[in-house]
């Protein structure tokens, strides 16, 4: 129990809480006239002017509820708790003050663990003070506690759901970096093997054919430069201590393996619009992996799709991959957050200095577009 309480107390604030948006300003702008209107239309409201003034004064706390949750809770519940002391035990509260429930939600959603504990004490003290003053009966007090607990529980649940998703996304990124590291390892091994073979050939003919030895040195220099480039990329990649896959990494020429039709899925057409034999292995492997993941996603998620098109083009500086399907757009698919497969694709492209985007088409279907530098280097 002590460890549990300590972990709650030491819980850090979630990273990057959202700043104030137009919706927050619109809410504040709406609540102020609503509070004034309620004061005008409710003749039974005790201490009407005080109730309306308190409601209006506390509305701006909503603007800082995410970035300063504990001070906003302290201000709001402190003011509403002290007002009855100045009005003879009466609580001049308007119905509009229901917006204050956003503050305990924000406290548990965006505050630190100690802020949540301190804020809970403040809210508990306010409820106890209201019970002592006789403003709330036992049933109302219990109901208020239950309601605040429900709001706080909702904030905490969404907080830890977001935290779990962040961990899963980090896991996907690390896995993609590991896969890229294995691919780059194969590439570097290829270059080093070529250097060794050329060096042995140069030594064998150096006495009888000096010009062949000079040619071998030129090839060695080119292969060594490529190997160094791949090494610089690989050292940027995080690789964990898992057994490496022994199968060779796929290349651009392996894209044809994606073509064809499954028994129940759409047909896949592959087109490579230009010759890419001189493409660095790291880029070729990345293009294949991105196309493979895109085709897999289309087969899994594109409803009633009949065709998936894979097209690769290139110019002097970059290689472009486009994968599109003609499936029906699910109501949830365009607005859903990026899946883990897409996250891995974006991570792989970024590690090579490129970009990857996935979005629905205007009419139907889904398109993935990736652009990678032709040299396969990261700036």
**pLDDT, tens digit, 9 for 90 and up, residues 252-310:** 888 888 888 776 778 899 998 877 777 877 788 889 889 988 888 888 878 888 899 99
- Verify that 230 and 344 share a domain, yes or no: no
Q: Which of 48, 39, 79 is nearest to 61 (CA)?
A: 79
Q: Which residues on neighbouring strands pair with residue 320, listed in sequence order?
A: 313, 371
Residue 241 domain flag: no
For residues 334 and 366, give the distance between their C-alpha atoms in angstroms, rounded to a whole number: 9
- Verify that 126 and 11 share a domain, yes or no: yes
Q: What is the pLDDT of residue 103?
A: 93
Total count of domains within the chain: 3
Q: What is the pLDDT of residue 319?
A: 92
DSSP 251-285: -GGGGGGG-EE-SSS-EEEEEE-S--TTS-HHHHH
DSSP 19-64: ---HHHHHHHHHHHHHHHHHHHH-TT-TTHHHHHHHHHHHGGGGGG
DSSP-derived secondary structure letter, 338: P
Task: Copy the structure tokens of residue 44.
Answer: 């039974």
Task: Copy the structure tokens of residue 268.
Answer: 């896949």
Q: Which residues on neighbouring strands pair with residue 373, listed in sequence order?
A: 318
- Verify that 335 and 366 share a domain, yes or no: yes
Q: What share of the chain is helix, strand, coil (3-state, %, to 5)?
A: 60, 10, 30
Q: Give the helix/strand (H/E) hosting 188.
A: helix 138-205
Q: What is the pLDDT of residue 29?
A: 93
List of the chain residues with pLDDT < 70: 1, 89, 134-137, 140-141, 176, 180-194, 196-198, 200-207, 212-214, 216-219, 221-249, 263, 329-340, 376-379
Residue 351 domain flag: yes
Q: Give the helix/strand (H/E) hosting 325.
A: strand 318-325
Q: What is the pLDDT of residue 347?
A: 79
Q: Tokens 């009419």 appear where?
A: 363
Q: What is the pLDDT of residue 203?
A: 66
Residue 379 domain flag: no
CA distances from residue 17 to 23, 27, 65, 72, 339 in whole angstroms, order as listed? 15, 18, 10, 15, 22
Of the residues 73, 105, 136, the one at which a domain ends = 136
- Verify that 117 and 200 share a domain, yes or no: no
Q: What is the pLDDT of residue 142?
A: 75
Q: What is the pLDDT of residue 239?
A: 43
Residue 292 domain flag: yes
CA distances from residue 222 to 15, 192, 211, 280 in whole angstroms, order as listed? 46, 11, 17, 12
Query: Which residues, other chains included, contact 329 with Cβ-Cβ below 8 Å and sequence gap of 6+?
Result: 360, 364, 365, 366
Write down the pTM of the prediction: 0.54
- Verify that 271 and 195 share a domain, yes or no: no
- Verify that 229 and 261 share a domain, yes or no: no
Residue 193 domain flag: yes
- Verify that 128 and 220 share a domain, yes or no: no
CATH number at residue 315: 3.30.565.10
Task: Copy the structure tokens of residue 252.
Answer: 């651009």
Residue 60 domain flag: yes
For residues 79 and 82, give the distance between their C-alpha atoms in angstroms, rounded to a whole number: 5
- Verify that 8 and 107 share a domain, yes or no: yes
CA distances from residue 127 to 59, 84, 144, 296 in whole angstroms, order as listed? 20, 12, 8, 56
Q: What is the pLDDT of residue 188?
A: 66
Q: Which residues on neighbouring strands pair with residue 370, listed in sequence order?
A: 321, 356
- Verify that 192 and 259 share a domain, yes or no: no
Q: Which of 346, 320, 316 is nearest to 180 (CA)?
A: 346
- Verify that 220 and 131 share a domain, yes or no: no
Residue count (the chain): 379
- Verify that 280 and 180 share a domain, yes or no: no
Residue 149 domain flag: no
Q: What is the pLDDT of residue 64?
A: 93
- Verify that 289 and 328 share a domain, yes or no: yes
Q: Tokens 């939600």 appear where?
A: 105
Residue 145 domain flag: no
Q: Which domain holds residue 264?
A: 252-373
């Amino acid at each position: 129990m002590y460890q549990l309480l300590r972990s709650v107390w030491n819980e850090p604030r979630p990273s990057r809480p959202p700043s104030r948006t137009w919706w927050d300003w619109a809410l504040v702008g709406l609540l102020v006239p609503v509070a004034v209107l309620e004061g005008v239309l409710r003749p039974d409201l005790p201490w009407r002017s005080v109730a309306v003034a308190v409601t209006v004064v506390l509305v701006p706390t909503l603007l800082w509820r995410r970035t300063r949750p504990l001070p906003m809770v302290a201000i709001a519940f402190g003011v509403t708790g002290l007002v009855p002391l100045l009005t003879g035990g009466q609580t001049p509260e308007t119905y509009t003050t229901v917006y204050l429930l956003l503050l305990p939600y924000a406290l548990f959603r965006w505050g630190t663990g100690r802020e949540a504990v301190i804020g809970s004490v403040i809210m508990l003290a306010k409820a106890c003070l209201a019970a002592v003053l006789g403003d709330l009966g036992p049933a109302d007090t219990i109901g208020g506690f239950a309601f605040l607990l429900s709001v706080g529980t909702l904030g905490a649940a969404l907080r830890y759901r977001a935290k779990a998703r962040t961990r899963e996304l980090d896991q996907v990124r690390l896995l993609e970096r590991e896969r890229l590291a294995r691919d780059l390892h194969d590439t570097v091994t290829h270059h080093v093997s070529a250097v060794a073979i050329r060096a042995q050939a140069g030594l064998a003919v150096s006495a009888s054919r000096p010009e062949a030895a000079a040619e071998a040195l030129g090839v060695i220099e080119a292969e060594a430069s490529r190997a160094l480039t791949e090494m610089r990329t690989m050292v940027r990649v995080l690789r964990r201590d898992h057994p490496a896959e022994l199968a060779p990494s796929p290349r651009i020429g392996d894209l044809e393996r994606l073509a064809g039709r499954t028994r129940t899925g759409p047909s896949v057409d592959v087109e490579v619009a230009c010759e890419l034999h001189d493409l660095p292995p790291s880029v070729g492997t990345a293009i294949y992996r991105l196309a493979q993941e895109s085709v897999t996603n289309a087969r899994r998620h594109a409803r009633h799709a009949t065709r998936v098109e894979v097209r690769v083009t290139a110019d002097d500086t970059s290689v472009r991959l486009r994968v599109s399907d003609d499936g029906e757009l699910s109501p949830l698919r365009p607005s859903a957050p990026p899946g883990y497969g897409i996250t891995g694709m974006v991570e792989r492209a970024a590690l090579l200095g490129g970009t990857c985007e996935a979005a629905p088409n205007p009419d139907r279907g889904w398109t993935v577009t990736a652009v990678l530098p032709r040299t396969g280097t990261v700036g």
